[in-house]
Structure 1
Amino acid sequence: MTSIRALFLGWGDMLRPQIFGLVLRGIGLTIGLFILLQIGLFWSIRTLAPGSLTLPFWGEITLGPALSWGSLALFPIIGFFLMAPVAAAFSGLYAERVADRVEAIHYPAMQGGDVDVWDGLLESLPLMGAVLLVGLVTLIATPFLGPFAPLLFYGANGWLLGREFFQMAARRHLDEASATAIRQRHGPTVTVLGIMIAFALTIPVANIAVPVLAAASFTHLYHLLSG
C-alpha cells in the first residue's frame, strides 16, 4: 500500500545523517510547542472550569493540585490529546524544512519551491483549533460512544493531519487548486497515512519525533502519487 511505503520511507529518512540534525531540532520545537499548549490549556481550565472536573475512566479531579507544575498526574492524558495539535502547528512552522531536505536527497530533479512560512502558519492555526475540538468532543462523548470513541479520535485527526501535511507537500509544486485536486483524488490514501500518524502521536515518548516523520512521509507520498 502506498501509505505504508511512504511511512517506511519517512522512517528511513529519520536515521540519515543529512536529516538527523533536523530531527533533533524538530524534537526541540515539538517539546516547546507542547509546553506552550499545555500552559495555555492549564490557564484556560483554571480560568473557566469549576474547582473539580470529572473525566471518563479517571474520576473526579481537583484542579488545583492536578494542574500544579509539580504534578505529573495528568501528563498521560495531556500528551494523548495535545500531541495532535502540536503536530498541526509543526506543519506550519517547520515541515517545510524537512520536505526540502527529503526532496534534496530523493528527488533532486523535482525539488519544490518554498511556501511562505506565514501562509503556512495561518493555515495551521485553524487546523490546531479543529484538532483540539476533536479531542474535546471525543473526551465528552466517550461515555456515550464507548469503544467507538477511538474511531472518532483517530479517524477525524487522521483526516485533518493528512489534509494539512499533504497539502503542505503538494503546495511546494502546485498552486492551491491543483494541490487540493490531487489530495481529493487520492483522499483515502492520504487519510490512511494521516491515521497512522495520528496513532503514532499517542505513543508516549516516541511521539515527540512523529511530526518530523509526518513531514517526511507526506513528502514521499506526494511524489509517489504524482508519479
Structure 2
Amino acid sequence: MLIQSVIAAAREVFSPALRSILWKSLALTAALLALVWLGLTRLFDYFLTNHPLSTDYPILDGFAFFLAGFGLFVALIYLLPAVTAIVAGYFLDDVADVVERKDYPADPPGEALPFGQAVFYGLRFAALSLLVNLAALLLFFIPGINIGVFFVANAYLLGREYFELAAGRFWTQEAVTQLRMEHRGTVFAAGAVLAGLVLVPVLNLVTPIFGAAMMVHLHKRLVARRLADGRAGGPVRLEVGRRSS
C-alpha cells in the first residue's frame, strides 16, 4: 500500500498535470530558503564582528568565519523541514485536486480547508517542525545520535502532518486523528520516506509536492481498505466524521 503510494507520487510529481505547481513550489521554497540564509548570515556576521572574543588576527577571524559558514549550512539542513512545511500547507489543496481528479474520478472530491484553518495548520506544522529540528540540532555533535534523532523526529512529524492535511479534506479532525492512530505504523513509514527525501540534496526541494501527492494516495488506499474490511464504525464513525460541504 505504501509502496504503491510512493510509486504513484514519484510518477506524478514531474507530470505535466503537476508541473506548474511544482515550479511554483520550487520558487517559493528557494525564496524562503534564501530569506532564512540571509537572516542567519546577517545574524552570524553581527555576532562575529561585535563579539568580545573577536580578535585582531585575520587568520583566526577567517577560521571563525569558516566555522560559522559551516554552521549555517548545517542549520539550514535542520531548518529545511520547517520551510517545506510552509510550502506543503500552501500547495497541498492544489496538488490534491489534481491527483483526486486524475486518479480517483469516481470518488467525491475533497473539500479545501477554509483559508484561516489552512493557514493555522501550515503555521502549526512549520512551528512544530522548527522546534523539533532545533532540538535535534543541539545533538549535532553527538555521533550516532544526531542523524538518528533528526530522522525519527521528522519521520513522525512529517508523516502526521502531511497525512492530516490530506485526510482533513474529507474528515473532521476527530475522525482524521482516529484514522491516523489506527494506521500509525503506515503513516510513520510514509513520514520516514519524506524524512529520507529531506536528506537528499536537490531532491529535497520537491518534498512538499511529492509528500502531498503520496499522502493523498495513501489516505485513499487506507480508507478503501478500511471500508473493504467492514470497519466503517469504531470509536468515531468515519461517515459521521465526514466534513460537510
| TM-score, scaled relative to structure 2 | 0.77
Match of 2:204 among 201, 207, 210: 207
Instruction: Work out whether residues 75 and 137 of structure 2, in 8 Å CA contact, stay in contact via their aligned partners in 1.
Output: no
Q: How many angstroms does 1:164 deviate by?
A: 1.0
CA distance in 1, matches of 2:47, 2:105: 51
From the superposition, tell whether residues 74 and 65 of structure 1 become closer, same or farther in structure 2 (CA, over 3 Å): closer
Counterpart in the other structure of 2:190: 193
Cα RMSD after superposing both structures: 2.6
Counterpart in the other structure of 1:140: 138
Q: What residue identity is the alignment partner of 1:122?
A: F
Q: How many angstroms does 1:194 deviate by?
A: 0.8
Residue 160 of structure 1 pairs with residue 122 of structure 2: no
Q: How many angstroms does 1:47 deviate by?
A: 6.7
Deviations 1:162-183 (A, max 9, x none): 1111101111111111111101
From the superposition, tell whether residues 107 and 223 of structure 1 become closer, same or farther in structure 2 (CA, over 3 Å): same
Counterpart in the other structure of 1:56: none
Instruction: Work out whether residues 79 and 204 of structure 1, in 8 Å CA contact, stay in contact via their aligned partners in 2.
Output: no
Paired residues in the alignment total: 213
The structure number with the bigger radius of gyration is 2
Listed as ranges, the matches of 1:1-227 within 5 Å are: 2-42=1-41, 51=51, 62=64, 66=68, 76-110=73-107, 111-144=109-142, 146-227=143-224
Instruction: Work out whether residues 91 and 164 of structure 1, in 8 Å CA contact, stay in contact via their aligned partners in 2.
Output: no
Instruction: Work out whether residues 21 and 91 of structure 2, in 8 Å CA contact, stay in contact via their aligned partners in 1.
Output: no
Identify the structure with bigger relative contact order (alpha carbons < 8 Å, sequence gap 6+): 1
**% identical aligned pairs:** 26
SS class of match (1:147): coil
Consecutive unaligned residues in structure 2, runs of 5 or more = 54-61, 225-245
SS class of match (1:211): helix
| TM-score, scaled relative to structure 1 | 0.83
CA distance in 2, matches of 1:9, 1:36: 33
SS class of match (1:94): helix
Q: What residue identity is the alignment partner of 2:30?
A: I
Deviations 1:51-90 (A, max 9, x none): 48xxxxxxx96359946xxxxx566424421221112112
Instruction: Work out whether residues 86 and 122 of structure 2, in 8 Å CA contact, stay in contact via their aligned partners in 1.
Output: yes
Instruction: Work out whether residues 83 and 202 of structure 1, in 8 Å CA contact, stay in contact via their aligned partners in 2.
Output: no
